[in-house]
Structure formats: structure tokens, C-alpha cells
Amino acid sequence: MNPTSTPSTPAVSVLTGDRSFLLRLYEQLVLIREFEERVKFLFLEGTMPGTIHQCQGQEATAVGVCAALRADDYITSTFRGHGHALAKGLGVQEMLDELFGAVTGCCKGKGGSMHMGNMDKGMVPGIAIVGGGIPLAAGMALAFKMQRRPQVVACFFGDGAVAEGAFHEGVNMAAIWNLPVVFVCENNLYGASTRIDKVMKNPRVSDRAASYGFRGETVDGNDVLAVLGAARRAAAECREGQGPVLLELLTYRRTGHSRRDACHYQAKDEREAWFARDPIERYAAQLLTRSDVTLADLAAVKARVIQEIDAGVERAKRAPQPTVAELTTDVLA
């Protein structure tokens, strides 16, 4: 599949945009990458419990979409939610604590990697059932509409979710009721080990929107400014009652589907082609075309991020675990 985007003018130009805003996007991209790399190390080392689904290579989708949202907008996510969480403003510490099963984690240690979330920050705990977040997001948007609240939901899901009945049912109802949902399909070409061309006769996911009567768009998901621009347009349409919108963000998972997966099902030339389109390197190159951004600036961002993660890991390892009494709390309201 051709990874280039349909032409779309980025809402923010890298040359004329606000320097600190642009650097903030860079920091988020790097934060997600470094966070994931550290988590992978901790998991493989055996100090971190559970299982992991990571998003190295897909950072720009989370950052671009969440940068287009307001603090009181919501996102729904999946088993692969660390990047979404960081982009939506969850803290490194509450996430690391959660991954270490600590009671100080964002879900008190009850959720774990696949259910990362924090309602105060506008993120529903990750829904680890493929497609399960889609009707849920539509329902949240229905509440916004009925209560005349000016909020939107960005609903993240993968290419794999498009095959589930939940996609059809949720998207259709969002369409007929013009609900304020930005459906964000992170099309990374694979659902687990299965390549999309094996499970879709029409692999252009955004085409599906038209069949439900609303607007869909395919975007280069490894270009953070292109994603931001598309997400801003989509969110604005949703706020004006013109929703929903389906964004198909073309991207690629650089890491295993989960745990120790070695990705033997990904072709070597395909991997190389996508590694050459790395969202962070590309954005760094764009930023460096500005006269007021230097390599040293970017290095400083990375150093700051790594320092934050280092400190977070040390604290998370010593964070208090829940007591057994916590087992039976939080079941009913």
C-alpha cells in the first residue's frame, strides 16, 4: 500500500508555527518513544509484570490527534494505549506506577498496561476487546449531544477493528445521529500477525465512511503535522454538529505485536521502507529547517524526557502495592 497521504494542508506550518508549541509536539513524540523503549526493557528484564502492546513507530498518530483536542474532550483507546495516554496528558509517573501494579497507578493497579486511562484527563481506560471502544465512543458522543456539551470524543482503534461487527454498528449510529466522534483508525497494516490485504477486499479504510454517509480521509500517520491538521478539521466539524469523521492514519508498528513477538510476518523491505519514514526523525528534520531550532535543542528535549522516565521508574519500583482489601473495592458504585 502506498503510504503517502492524500494532500492536505497542515493547519500548522513548521516554518511559521509557534516554536514552543512545535517543540512541545516533538517532546511528546520523544516521550512516547522513550517511554515505550524503557517499558520494553523492564518487561524483558522481568521486573515489570503483565504483558505489553507497544506503539513505537506510531507516535505521531497519538500526538497529532490529541494535540487537536481540548482538555475536556475524551479519547477511547485500545490494548495499545501507552502513546494515547501520554499524548492525552497522563503523567509518566501514574502510568509507570500502574504498569508496576502499584496502588498509586492511574487505575490503582487494577487496570494494567491494556487498560491504561484516567477519566480526569479525558481518557477512558483502554478497551482491550478489539472494536469494543467504537460503540462506547458513540455513546459518549450521544451524551454530549443530548446534554448540549461542546465536547468531542476521539476513538482510537486499529485496522483490525474494522472487521468487527462493533465497527459497523457503532459507526452507523454515530453517522445517523451526527455524533461528535472522530473515529481514528491507526492503520499500521497489520492486525496482530495478519496483513490487511488478507482480511480486507478494499484496504482503504477511509472509503468506508462514504458508505455510511459521512466524511472519511486518509492521512500520512507518520507526519505529525498532517495528523494534527486533519484532526483539527475533524474535531471542528464534530463541534459544529457535522460529525462524525473517520480518519485513517497510515502508520507502522516498529515493535512486536505484544510481548516478545519478533515480527517475522513483516517483510524486510516493507520494514525498511517504513523505518525510513520514522515519524520522529521526519519531524526532527522538519523542525531543523527553522533557523531557531538546533540539534542541541532537540537533544535537550530528549535528555529531559529520559531524566523524567529514569526518575519515574525508580519511584514506580518502590511505589506501594495495593493491600488485599482492595480486591473487593470499586466493583459497584
Ligand X SMILES: Cc1ncc(C[n+]2csc(CCOP(=O)(O)OP(=O)(O)O)c2C)c(N)n1
List the interface residues with ligand X, window 60-89 (CB under 6 A).
Answer: 79-80
Instruction: Compute the least distance from the CB of residue 117 to another protein, in Å.
Output: 12
Instruction: Report the first-to-last Cα separation within the chain, whole angstroms.
Output: 47
Cβ-count burial of 77 within 10 angstroms (0-12 exposed, 13-18 middle, 19+ buried)?
buried
Residue 283 one-letter amino acid? Y
- List the one residue out of 314, 309, 325, 324 whose CA is nearest residue 86: 309
Q: Which does 80 bind (CB under 5 to 8 A by kind): ligand X, another protein, Mg ion, none?
A: ligand X
Nearer to ligand X, 12 or 189 (CB): 189
Q: Which does 163 bind (CB under 5 to 8 A by kind): Mg ion, ligand X, another protein, none?
A: another protein
Nearer to ligand X, 47 or 51 (CB): 51
Residue found under cell 454538529:
241
Q: Which of residues 1, 259, 311, 314 is near another protein by CB under 8 A?
A: 259
Q: Which of residues 199, 236, 288, 306 is near another protein by CB under 8 A?
A: 199
Q: Which of residues 264, 289, 318, 333 is near another protein by CB under 8 A?
A: 264
Instruction: Compute the least distance from the CB of residue 152 to another protein, in Å.
Output: 25
**How far are the Cα atoms of 19, 133, 217, 278, 316 from residue 138, in angstroms, in the given order?**
35, 9, 19, 32, 35
List the interface residues with ligand X, window 118-137 (CB under 6 A).
Answer: 128-130
Q: CA–CA separation, 302 vs 299, rounded Å?
A: 5
Instruction: Compute the least distance from the CB of residue 193 to ligand X, in Å.
Output: 9
Q: CA–CA separation, 165 vs 160, rounded Å?
A: 11
CB 140 within 8 A of CB 153: yes
CB 316 within 8 A of CB 100: yes
Instruction: Compute the least distance from the CB of residue 52 to another protein, in Å.
Output: 10
Instruction: Compute the least distance from the CB of residue 303 to another protein, in Å.
Output: 32
Site string (251-280) toward ligand X, x via CB under 6 A = ------x-----------------------
Q: Is 101 in the site for another protein (CB under 8 A)?
A: yes
Strand, coil or helix: what is 168? helix
Residue 217: count of CB within 10 angstroms of its CB? 17
List the interface residues with ligand X, window 146-205 (CB under 6 A).
Answer: 158-161, 188, 190-192
Q: Which of residues 93, 113, 151, 206 is near another protein by CB under 8 A?
A: 113
For ligand X, the nearest residue by Cβ is: 158
Q: Is 221 in the site for ligand X (CB under 6 A)?
A: no
- List the one residue out of 85, 63, 49, 59 whose CA is nearest residue 255: 59
Q: Which of residues 114, 182, 230, 245 is near another protein by CB under 8 A?
A: 114
Which helix (H) or strand (E) is 75 found in, with range?
A: strand 74-76
Backbone angles phi, psi at 331, to 5 degrees: -80, -50
Instruction: Compute the least distance from the CB of residue 102 to another protein, in Å.
Output: 8
**Looking at the chain, how many residues does it have?**
333
Return residues touching ligand X (CB under 6 A): 79-80, 128-130, 158-161, 188, 190-192, 257
